[in-house]
Structure 1
């Protein structure tokens, strides 16, 4: 206790009384009827004893207890190698650890082993935090007093330990502490550490020196600042091991010596070979003295029946016993085509064609039952010349999964391949779409292979009175072959440019559909004619309303859309857009019609309602030019025309 502490003195029992007081600067508390009682410098227990002695004569039948209310604060100074040195206000009960916590702890240079505490200019204690961390001892962690000074000096000896210890890191050592003490701080060796010696690297002023400290000198070899200690692991090798792999019941490593000294004894300890073991020829890998390998052939059958001598084992021998399957190529059979699960299957003896079809999930609805083929390898390992026959094919007809034409119960052989063909009479529904100015727009199913535009319009109830059949267009999905062909055209056009364009052809998105130029008005007027094209799955026919405008774009002064004037030529509309641009390529001007067709003005193409007149620019290698041209694809141009336009631009 000290001046400023608030205390409560409770008297209870025969008498009841509570006295509240504050310890005065002279260290006393004043009690009515008794005067001042000295308590400063005492612990709470000592103060309780003092009060019982003083008040006991009057309160002999009562209990007396002193408790502390609000404690006073003290000012202490934390100096040296801490993160935030300075003066701190702490509770009167604070210890050295509390002060260090308030100062942020020691910094990278600060010592943890020799923290000094001064009171009235006298050293009263030193604190070793390692003693607390490792042993739980609070030696030196005294309670602080007003104006105490805590000094954290720099470390004297910092040592690093790495490798196979439990806590590898830097440790601060006291003078004359040994390698053994460092290992104790590091938690000792790990289970796989080499404990006979450790390696120590030390700076000697001009260079480094290496010391090998054996286990007998670890407790006496003293450490110096910046020493580095490393602990190696044990060698990754065995001194008394043999191993068996492959077709045995208990493969693994075994101790050589004792009851295992020969191959026969080793096999007996691993409970023998499995049923699929190939025992006519096993392989022993033996390590010679120079650590190179030697291969020894082992006759397991001969050793086990006593017809050949048993083979003595040596440390690090590895015996491998293969399986019969490993001694031959993996045998498979394959099924292709219209079954539920086509693929490669493991061969099994006596499997019939019917069994294999069933194993593959059975036939699909699309399968042909009148032609199932089995292809078999032709193999003659003794042949001295090539043969023109490389395979044999067997054909079968099936019904309900059973062979009805061919050899019933036909047994498959290794590497046979079964082909289940698609029936030529099976077709899935193929849909086309019509939208726009027809009586019944929507989805329609193709009923014949050669169904045409006029048939689709007829199925849709015909066109209504708002339809502009001359501007109808057809969207068609790319097939895989068409996409490859289009990409090839792009690459060819790029090649023809001589590599001068900066456009990356790979980055051009050609989309999933393209437009087919059609003339629906002619198809409806003469069904079955050349203009009445045959439809295919996914086609989308769009019949627009009449559009009475013409769009002018490209290299003109003011791209514009104007009203259609019957009989007017392209030049009239270009004038409506302000005339030709400065770099207009007049001779290549073309018209994109609503039906997807494209024609050049130089070839007498005439504007029609809803068309677009496009004026390309002369060749300045601007990558935006191609992007602008390709954007026309959104204006119903066929993609083949875009390719042609691209090729024309880069000439």
Structure 2
């Protein structure tokens, strides 16, 4: 039928537009559904990623830490077996245990294997096949591990249900559950302040983890001895439906500690299975400087308040000559260390010697002259008058009074305190008093025994004297052995008109000592001649002070006169 009028054309056009709109809506809805499905898939994947594991794909192998033990591995739904038959019959069967725990063997029938150990399953398969066929050989192997669910509860960060397989251990599934509760993963547990007693981190027990099996059996897992000593005995492998419960531990009791000659001293969570050797393993073994002949065991008495001390033959226990000692809660072991064991002592020589650098010394027996001789002696450019030897000052040897005065304003100090403060401020901390020039002029009386960390500095001859202050041309001048301070001031252009000649001083370059100027005072290289500026007289201040003094004197005079009338 043809449309010849406008009304018919309009209906066709409207119908065409309607189909187009329906098509567009269908496309939009399809895209929205696809996007929603992808979003849901991403949402479902995120928790798995957060839990720290990924699902195994088909054909992907499972990493094993040890081979599967046929005597301890229980077969369950999802395990894969491969059976080889040869002889009169050549065949290979790849079978998977059904959800009901059976192997569906062609021509033989279902074999019930659920809950049996692997070696029992192999025997049952062989028996069933040999019953069906004669003059053949049968070999069966486990070729694929099943996945199953386990439950993690208690003091973990993310309790819940997690996938595992026959090689998964307790520590792995706890890690999937976010680790033990209230433990900072960013904290470096191996960095600790020196001499600080270390307590176990967090609040969760690492040693009394309860693993409940579906057959009613219960094991107590110990993750700490695996973490600290690499001992897998109690880091059990999991089976179908295991329930893992991580309890809280006591905070300050039910611990035991080891201190002294071990690599990782501190307190550890107690386990009733432990002995002395186990505790030493948790402490990463004895240190090289440990005194292994004996140790001290401190144990609480029956009143739970007082303690008793027992000396134990540590060396005999470690070598097997004596039996190991079973430990009790809150026992403490103290192992002594050998004093000065492999103590490494050295000094540093810097500057003008033939071979500068570090040199080994012996405790309380190496002298300064010996080390200089080992260093090849002084160079021709060395300055013994400016040589310095410094020694490390510990906090125990610091001047406590000087440290106290540094915190006090000068205005609050007494005259004696201020004088002491000035003297100590001019001292060079750690400087050892030694006259190098006199010592190496065959005067051995001033020789010094060296200590670990001493620094010997032999500078190059400066060959200059510094003239500073109120002179015409202050600065460095060439050293002349026969010159006195006036000669150097003359070389510097003489005094300026503001110079205070009477207060001129000589500052010794080596000691920092201030000396009054004197023609007979010897000037050495590195010395400083200081000429200060005259202080301007404030006449108005002087007049006020004089008037005030006269007024006070007159007042006193009048009071005395009135009192004597």
Q: TM-score range by the shorter chain?
A: 0.3 to 0.5
Write 1 or 2 for the structure with the bigger share of strand.
1
TM-score between both structures, scaled by the size of structure 1: 0.37
Write 1 or 2 for the structure with the bigger share of helix.
2
Bigger-Rg structure (1/2): 1
